[in-house]
Amino acid sequence: MMTMKVLTLAFAALVATSASALAAEDLSQPQEPIKQSWSWDGPFGMYDRAQLQRGFQVYKEVCSACHSLNLVSFNDLSYENGGTGMFSAAQVKAIAAGYKVPAGPDEKGNTTDENGNPLMRPGIPADHFPAPFANEEAARAANGGALPPDQSLLVKAREGGPDYVYSIVVGDGTKPPHGFKVIEGKYYDPYFPGRNISMPPPLTNDSVTYSDGTKATLDQEARDITAFLTWAAEPKLEDRHRLGFGVMLFMLLLSGLLFLSYRKVWKDAH
Amino acid sequence: MSGPSTYVPKSGFARWMDSRLPLMRFAHDTIITFPTPKNLNFWYAFGAILAFMLGIQILTGIVLAMHYVANADLAFNSVEGIMRNINYGWLIRYMHANGASFFFIAVYIHMFRGLYYGSYKAPREVLWILGVILYLLMVATAFFGYVLPWGQMSFWGATVITNFFSALDQITPHWGSAIATWLWGGFAVGDATLNRFFSLHYLLPFVIAGVVALHIWALHVPGNNNPLGIDVKGPQDMLPFHPYYTVKDSFYVALFALVYLAFVFYAPNFFGNPDNYTPANPVVTPPDIVPEWYLLPYYAMLRSVPQKLLGVLVMAGSLLTLLFIPWLDTSKVRSTRFRPMMKQFFWFFVIDCAVLGYCGAQSADASLTLGSFALPLVWIARLATLYYFGFFWVIMPLLGIIERPKPLPTSISQPVLAAAE
Ligand code: HEM
For residue B253, the domain's CATH number is 1.20.810.10
Flag whether B383 is in a domain.
yes
Does the structure show a pLDDT above 50 at A1? Answer: no
Flag whether B118 is in a domain.
yes
What's the pLDDT tens digit per position in B226-254?
A: 999 999 999 999 999 999 999 999 999 99
Flag whether B388 is in a domain.
yes
Does the structure show a pLDDT above 80 at B217? Answer: yes
Ligand 1 centre and the CA of B316: distance in Å? 22
* Contact yes or no for B276/B153 (Cβ under 8 A): yes
Comparing C-alpha atoms, which of B322, B302, B298 is closest to residue B310? B302
pLDDT > 90: what percent of chain A?
83
- As a whole number, mean pLDDT of residues B293-312 equals 94
Collect all residues of chain A within an 8 Å Cβ-Cβ radius of residue B278.
Answer: 149, 153, 157
Q: What pLDDT score does B211 carry?
A: 98
Q: d(Cα A54, Cα B147) in Å, to the nearest integer?
A: 37
Flag whether B129 is in a domain.
yes
Q: What pLDDT score does B3 carry?
A: 65
Ligand 1 centre and the CA of A10: distance in Å? 61
B83 touches chain A (CB under 8 A): yes
Using a 6 Å CB cutoff, which residues line ligand 1? B 44, 46-48, 50-51, 54, 107, 110-111, 114, 117, 119-120, 124, 127-128, 131-132, 134-135, 138, 208, 212, 215-216, 219, 224-225
Q: d(Cα B310, Cα B276) in Å, to the nearest integer?
A: 30
Q: How far is CA B325 from CA A102, B191, B396, in A?
A: 65, 40, 8
Q: What pLDDT score does B390 carry?
A: 98
The model's pTM is 0.92
Cβ within 8 Å of residue A169, ≥6 positions away: A202, A203, A221, A222, A225, A226
Q: What pLDDT score does B368 carry?
A: 86
Atom number in ligand 1 closest to CA B46 = 16
- As a whole number, mean pLDDT of residues B317-333 equals 97
Collect all residues of chain A within an 8 Å Cβ-Cβ radius of residue B76.
Answer: none
- As a whole number, mean pLDDT of residues A26-44 equals 95
Flag whether B8 is in a domain.
no
* Contact yes or no for B364/B147 (Cβ under 8 A): no
Flag whether B23 is in a domain.
no
pLDDT > 70: what percent of chain A?
91
- As a whole number, mean pLDDT of residues B383-387 equals 98
Distance from CA of B279 to the nearest CA of A (A): 10
Flag whether B27 is in a domain.
no
- As a whole number, mean pLDDT of residues B326-347 equals 98
Q: Is B36 helix (H, G, I), strand (E, B) or coil?
A: strand
Does the structure show a pLDDT above 50 at B289? Answer: yes
What's the pLDDT tens digit per position in A140-156?
A: 999 999 999 999 999 99
pLDDT band at B83 (very low <50, low <70, confident <90, very high): very high
Does the structure show a pLDDT above 80 at A10? Answer: no
Residue with more model confidence, A10 or A38: A38
Percentage helix, strand, coil, to 5, in chain A? Answer: 45, 5, 50
Q: What pLDDT score does A6 carry?
A: 53
* Domains by residue range for chain A, with CATH: 28-46+149-250 (1.10.760.10)
Q: What pLDDT score does A44 carry?
A: 97
Does the structure show a pLDDT above 70 at B419? Answer: no
pLDDT band at A22 (very low <50, low <70, confident <90, very high): very low
- As a whole number, mean pLDDT of residues B339-344 equals 98
Q: What pLDDT score does B1 carry?
A: 43
Q: d(Cα B268, Cα B263) in Å, to the nearest integer?
A: 5
Q: How far is CA B219 from CA A222, B39, B58, B120, B309, in A?
A: 60, 17, 23, 11, 37
Q: d(Cα B294, Cα B313) in Å, to the nearest integer?
A: 19
Instruction: Determine whether the interchain pair A258/B251 forms a contact, defined as Cβ–Cβ distance below 8 Å.
Output: yes
Of how many residues is chain A composed? 270
Q: What pLDDT score does B421 carry?
A: 43
Ligand 1 centre and the CA of B94: distance in Å? 26
pLDDT band at B144 (very low <50, low <70, confident <90, very high): very high
Q: d(Cα B384, Cα B390) in Å, to the nearest integer?
A: 10
* Contact yes or no for B1/B220 (Cβ under 8 A): yes
Flag whether B126 is in a domain.
yes
* Contact yes or no for B323/B132 (Cβ under 8 A): yes
Q: For the ranges A228-232, B4-8, B344-348, B362-366, which has the lowest average pLDDT?
A: B362-366
Does the structure show a pLDDT above 90 at A7? Answer: no
Identify residues of A whose CB sits under 8 angstroms from chain B CBs: 43, 71, 76, 149, 152-153, 156-159, 161, 193, 233, 235-236, 239-241, 243-244, 247-248, 251-252, 254-255, 258-259, 261-262, 265-266, 269-270
- As a whole number, mean pLDDT of residues B81-103 equals 98
Comparing C-alpha atoms, which of B336, B329, B326 is closest to residue B408? B336
Ligand 1 centre and the CA of B122: distance in Å? 15
Does the structure show a pLDDT above 70 at B306? Answer: yes
Q: What pLDDT score does B168 carry?
A: 87
Please name the helix (run of DSSP H) or strand (run of DSSP E) that holds residue B367, with its range, or none: strand B367-370
Residue with more model confidence, A24 or A29: A29
What's the pLDDT tens digit per position in A78-134?
A: 999 888 999 999 999 999 999 999 998 999 999 898 898 889 999 999 999 999 999
Does the structure show a pLDDT above 90 at A36? Answer: yes
pLDDT band at B415 (very low <50, low <70, confident <90, very high): low
* Contact yes or no for B46/B117 (Cβ under 8 A): no
Residue of B56, B78, B83 to mutate when probing chain A, most A C-beta within 10 A? B83
Please name the helix (run of DSSP H) or strand (run of DSSP E) that holds residue B316, with its range, or none: helix B308-328
**Average pLDDT value over all residues in chain A:** 92
Range(s) of the domain holding residue B307: 37-420
Q: How many domains does chain B have?
A: 1
Atom number in ligand 1 closest to CA B48 = 10
B269 touches chain A (CB under 8 A): yes
Ligand 1 centre and the CA of B354: distance in Å? 22
Q: What pLDDT score does B366 carry?
A: 87
* Chain mean position to CA B347: 19
Atom number in ligand 1 closest to CA B120 = 35
Instruction: Determine whether the interchain pair B269/A156 forms a contact, defined as Cβ–Cβ distance below 8 Å.
Output: yes
Distance from CA of A71 to the nearest CA of B (A): 8
* Contact yes or no for B265/A248 (Cβ under 8 A): yes
Q: What pLDDT score does A19 carry?
A: 44
pLDDT band at B89 (very low <50, low <70, confident <90, very high): very high
